[in-house]
Amino acid sequence: MLMRNITLPTGPYDWHETKVPRRIYDARLDALRAVMREGGLAGTILSGSTFDDGAIAWLTGFTPKLGPAYALVPLAGQPRLLFSGGPGMRPSAQRLTWLEDVAALKSLTSDLSAWDCPKPWGLVEDAGLSAVAMHAIGHVHGGHVHGGMPTDLTAAMDRLRRVPEAAVKPLIHRGAEILGLIETSLIETAAPTRWEARLAAEQLAFDLGAQDLRLRLSAIEGGRPEPVDPDGAALPEQAALTIALRADGYWLLGHGWRGPRRPRPDTAGLARLAAGVAPATLGLGHIAPLGHSLVEPPLDPQQPLAEGQCLRVTLDSPTAPLSVLVEITAPPLPSGPRLLWAAAALAPQQSGLTGVRP
């Protein structure tokens, strides 16, 4: 989901060692190395950027803020984190990752050339990996006997990231709770302008512990929502709300609605969400995993859902989309999947979920 970025998020830490135990990262690193071993790879480059840092944040805890970052992961030995910024900024990066080998990125070409790791390498791309960076990676990797580009491990990494561990579920649940509070504030706001409503929501998000909040307050033009630049105009009586927030490294995104004439999407498939069911059979809209990336790719509609997955289901309607966030259970709870958040405009009986809003 495309949302206008903030040039530099400020706020409390988006990672803390006490919130995600080290054993979680050890297990993630082991899982990546198993993929590397299977592919005969001696090292892997993970790229991350301010556009998309899903993979690098999952593995290292670090979210790039000042520009791209790279994690260099050898099959054995310490991974290295390269961050954008001056060498003097190392403390600000070091405190936001469990990795011990942290250094300022000089240039991708020189840093990769200096990496003491045999080839061939794998590559986990972020969605924003630039043409210039890809050229540098290909140049360094292809300049040796193995030749060519590194093996693309992006899809394999996506599969590894798809089911969050039990230990991090409370972070996702808390993020969903903050999402609900932000949505409520935007529905109930008496702020005279869009801009003031936005600032109040930002203040609330930071007070609740989020580190990034991105909003689209879309007016309804020609029966469909259309983005409106933030300005001094009043918040429309009928507005589609797209809210994306990052809390403890996880992105929570939801589509809500402000106004009395609610969208009425088809929700019949919601109650059937369960492990072992393929999305293609549900008749629902866009289904994407909740994770460290705002631009997580949608699920394969033919691939059955897995127990423990946390998902955003975006329900299409002629007026505006609405979302629910759910955790997949097996077998389904009597009330359907575990509901983490649902757009307030979706009445429980309308959503097909008998549970109430959490």
Partner 1 sequence: MNTIPHITRTDRRRALAAAMAAHGIERLVLASTGLHMIDLPNPLLHLTGFRSIGPALVTFDRHGDITAMVMPADDAGRAARHFGGDAAGVDEATDILGHMSSAPHTATVGFGALPHRLAGSITARLGEDARSFDDAFYAATSPKLHEEITAASRATAIAEAGYEHMKALIRPGLRECDLAVAVNLFMKAQGADDSFLMLNAGPRADAVMPSSERPLEEGDLILVELSPSVEGQFVQICRTVAIGEPAPEIAPGYELLVQAMRAGISKVKPGVRMGEICGAIDDLLSEAGFAQYSRPPFIRRRGHGLGAGSTHPGDVAVDNDTALEAGMVFIVHPNQFLPTTGYMMCGEPLVVGEAGPLVLSSREARLDVVTP
Q: Which range binds partner 1 by CB under 8 A, 17-25, 218-226, 303-311, 341-349?
A: 218-226
At 181, give phi and psi (nearest 5°).
Answer: -70, -35
Whether 54 contacts 246, CB under 8 Å: no
Burial of 255 from C-beta contacts in 10 A (0-12 / 13-18 / 19+): buried
Give me the least distance between CB of 337 and partner 1, in Å please: 27
Q: Which range binds partner 1 by CB under 8 A, 63-71, 110-118, 337-345, 347-355?
A: 63-71
Q: Which of 201, 321, 326, 207 is nearest to 265 (CA)?
A: 321
Whether 90 contacts 104, CB under 8 Å: yes
Among 26, 100, 165, 226, binds partner 1 (CB under 8 A): 226
CB atoms within 10 A of CB 94: 16
**Is 87 near partner 1 (CB under 8 A)?**
yes
Site size with partner 1, rule: CB under 8 A: 49
* 3-state secondary structure (DSSP) of residue 217: strand
| Closer CB to partner 1, 178 or 339, in the complex | 178
CB atoms within 10 A of CB 245: 26
Residue 57 CB-half CA count within 13 A: 26
Among 43, 55, 62, 65, binds partner 1 (CB under 8 A): 65
Two tokens, residue 17: 């060692």
| Closer CB to partner 1, 201 or 345, in the complex | 201
**Is 199 near partner 1 (CB under 8 A)?**
yes
Q: Which range binds partner 1 by CB under 8 A, 34-42, 193-201, 247-255, 348-356?
A: 193-201
**Is 254 near partner 1 (CB under 8 A)?**
no
Task: Tell me the C-alpha distance between 273 and 22, whole Å.
Answer: 32
Residue whose tokens read 């575990």: 338
Give me the least distance between CB of 182 and partner 1, in Å please: 15
DSSP letter at 118 equals P
Task: Tell me the C-alpha distance between 235 and 257, whole Å.
Answer: 12
- Taking residues 115 to 154 in sequence order and writing x for each that binds partner 1 by CB under 8 A, - otherwise, the string is ------------xxxxxxxxx-------------------
Say what the alpha-carbon torsion angle 296, 300, 304, 307 is, to the nearest 10 degrees: -10
Amino acid (one-letter) located at 51: F
Q: How far is CA 302 from CA 137, 278, 332, 352, in A?
A: 34, 5, 19, 23
**Is 221 near partner 1 (CB under 8 A)?**
yes
Give me the least distance between CB of 11 and partner 1, in Å please: 6
Give me the least distance between CB of 77 and partner 1, in Å please: 26
**Is 252 near partner 1 (CB under 8 A)?**
no
| Closer CB to partner 1, 226 or 307, in the complex | 226
**Is 246 near partner 1 (CB under 8 A)?**
no
Q: Which range binds partner 1 by CB under 8 A, 7-15, 116-124, 139-147, 304-312?
A: 7-15
Q: Is the peptide bond before 120 cis (omega within 30 degrees of 0)?
A: yes
Give me the least distance between CB of 275 and partner 1, in Å please: 29
Among 44, 50, 60, 323, binds partner 1 (CB under 8 A): 50
Q: Which residues of this chain interact with partner 1, rule CB under 8 A?
A: 2-8, 10-13, 50-51, 65-67, 85-89, 91-92, 95, 127-135, 195-196, 199, 202-203, 206, 216, 218, 221, 224-230
